[in-house]
Homo-oligomer: A and B are copies of this chain.
Amino acid sequence: MDIKEQVLEIGAKAKAASRELARLSTRKKNAILEAMAEELDAQRALIQQENQKDLEAGRKAGLTNAMLDRLELTDARIDSMIKGLRDVAVLQDPVGEEISTWNRPNGLEIHKRRVPIGVIGIIFESRPNVTCDAAALCFKTSNAVILRGGKEAIHSNLAIAKAMQKGGESKGMPEHCIQLIPTIDRAAVEVMCQMTDYLDLIIPRGGEGLIRAVMKMAHVPVIKHYTGVCHTYVDASADLEMALRIAENAKCQRPGVCNAMETLLVHQDIADEFLPKMGGIFDQNGVEMRGDSRTTSLIGTAIPAKEEDWRTEYVDLILSIKVVDDVKAAIEHINTYGSGHSDAIVAEDEKATVQFLNEVDSATVYVNASTRFTDGAEFGMGAEIGVSTDKLHARGPMGLEELTTYKYVIEGDGQIRE
């Protein structure tokens, strides 16, 4: 059987499994998640043994220490996967919820009801814990999942998936609800991206290169997260002490993540007062600053920014800074160079605030808070399958609800159309 046939067979099995899955009660799904957690714990030694194979191969292949670190399944990481399964078990199940109900003059009763999407493909890179986290969220929402992990984690991913399947099936999970593509051949990704008969959605999780490759091939709908070029704009009306705290937090608290600030925009009227203080704080935090000419004249340690800086997601202790004429110019800059992820205004003026919140075309817009809050847990979603920079079908942090769609259920008593 060639790769294409193999992947299509996995797809057909997932589609069949998704029908079975739609029949499981929430109570049964939760019991299955608990059984998966227990089995993961029971197979801890085996999983770590398989993980060792990946780590050895990674060392031989010359992976960096950072990559090897991401790959390693320590006890703490296995504990965290187990806890994740139990956390998902206690979350409310969105499947079956009535989104709205209304009656028509002819007596028809229309129910708009939340249902699973069907079969979801997750294409991800090196962290093997994604196998567990993503499968748990898809399962809780009664979606069948097809996982395709990075080649460097293949043994770890297979071991985790097998433990989840064994644990789940011991409590009546239908076969093929959770499948992992067992080959590292890249052709498998192309087949996944184009098997519209079996896959309802693909969520790629990884770097921009992976996501662009998926987008190029995909005929199946994709929800993606390109980059997080997040901005903080400090308005003339800002409480400057608050602005210093928020900007420091947005850049420095965890610079390597997608909701960290990459560009600071400052209103010209308060730049003289604000930027020297702000620059001092960034200097203390070891932040490299790249600014426009007005910025470099106010912060001695800032170097000149190039055009490409405004589009760059540094994910590092580097920041671009620009002085803008007004809130309109700030909005224009964000809508031109941003990635539609998370952008904040620090302001006391109502008019500037409303304009900013309305006109910045991003998934998440903040007033007087750090962009670092764009996160499923911080939103109170309980779990997160990712953050979307797309507008359809989900935008911003995606939890369980975003893994569902809806159907219309219509009850009549013999209505026909005149």
Residues of A participating in the B interface, judged by any CB pair closer than 8 Å? 19, 22-23, 102, 104, 108, 110, 117-118, 196, 200-201, 215-216, 219, 221, 239, 242, 245-246, 248-250, 253-254, 335, 357-359, 361-370, 372-374, 378-380, 390-393, 395-396, 405-417
Contacts and interface: CB of A to CB of B under 8 A. Distances in A.
Given A390-B221, A391-B118, A416-B253, A359 B22 contact: yes
A110 B108 CA distance: 35
A299 to B, nearest CB: 22
A221 B219 contact: no
A366 B410 contact: yes
Given A104-B380, A378-B417, A19 B396 contact: no
B395 A407 contact: yes
A368 B407 contact: no
Given A104-B380, A392-B393, A365 B408 contact: yes
A108 B406 CA distance: 29
30 contacts: A19-B335, A19-B361, A22-B358, A22-B359, A104-B380, A117-B391, A201-B391, A221-B221, A221-B392, A245-B416, A246-B414, A248-B416, A254-B417, A362-B407, A363-B407, A364-B408, A365-B410, A366-B412, A369-B410, A369-B413, A369-B416, A370-B415, A370-B417, A372-B417, A373-B410, A373-B415, A374-B408, A392-B393, A395-B407, A396-B407
Q: How many copies does the complex hold?
A: 2
A370 B415 CA distance: 6
A392 B392 contact: yes
Contacts of A248: 416
A369 B414 contact: yes
Nearest to A104: B380
A368 B417 CA distance: 12
A372 B416 contact: yes
A200 B102 CA distance: 30
B415 A369 contact: yes
Contacts of A215: 196, 219
A290 to B, nearest CB: 23
A391 B363 CA distance: 21
Contacts of A413: 368-369
Given A108-B369, A412-B368, A415-B369, A200 B23 contact: no
Contact of A358 (B23, B245, B367): B23
Contacts of A118: 361, 391
> Which A-B residue pairs are the 7 nearest by beta carbons?
A369-B412, A393-B393, A249-B416, A372-B417, A392-B393, A369-B415, A364-B408
Contacts of A380: 102, 104, 110
Nearest to A239: B414
Given A201-B392, A395-B408, 19 more contacts: A19-B359, A19-B361, A23-B358, A23-B359, A102-B380, A104-B378, A365-B408, A366-B411, A366-B412, A367-B410, A367-B411, A368-B412, A369-B411, A369-B415, A370-B417, A373-B410, A374-B408, A392-B393, A395-B406
